[in-house]
């Protein structure tokens, strides 16, 4: 059914503010993350960016969100 959507689901959850260590996050944040990710992806399609680079950008967004999450958890 939903094969190869793992990266997109993780990206949406992390962008939405879910903590990768668990316990923090909600459905509203996941929805916001999903919408934001799709807006970025649609912008890349309109800019005629190659699909391989689109996936690479999703990976960069995940890495950036994880780094922000780690920095935020250290400050708290």
Tens digit of pLDDT for each residue in 9-61? Answer: 888 888 888 877 776 778 888 888 889 989 988 999 999 999 899 889 888 88
pTM exceeding the 0.75 threshold for the entire prediction:
no
Report if residue 69 sits inside a domain: yes
Report if residue 23 sits inside a domain: no
The two structure tokens encoding residue 39: 């807006």
Report if residue 39 sits inside a domain: no
Residue 4 has pLDDT above 80, yes or no: no
Q: Range of 66's domain?
A: 50-76
Report if residue 71 sits inside a domain: yes
Q: Which pLDDT score is estimated for 30?
A: 85
Report if residue 62 sits inside a domain: yes
Into how many domains does the chain fold? 1
Report if residue 55 sits inside a domain: yes
Nearest CA to 69 among 21, 23, 4? 21
Report if residue 67 sits inside a domain: yes
Report if residue 59 sits inside a domain: yes
For 6, the enclosing helix (H) or strand (E) is helix 6-15
In this prediction, residues 55-72 reach a mean pLDDT of 84
């Amino acid at each position: 059914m939903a094969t190869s959507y793992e990266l997109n689901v993780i990206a949406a959850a992390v962008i939405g503010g879910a903590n990768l260590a668990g316990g923090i996050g909600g459905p509203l944040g996941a929805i916001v993350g999903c919408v934001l990710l799709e807006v970025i992806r649609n912008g890349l399609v309109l800019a005629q960016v190659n699909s391989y680079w689109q996936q690479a950008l999703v990976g960069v967004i995940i890495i950036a969100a994880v780094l922000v999450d780690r920095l935020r958890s250290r400050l708290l």
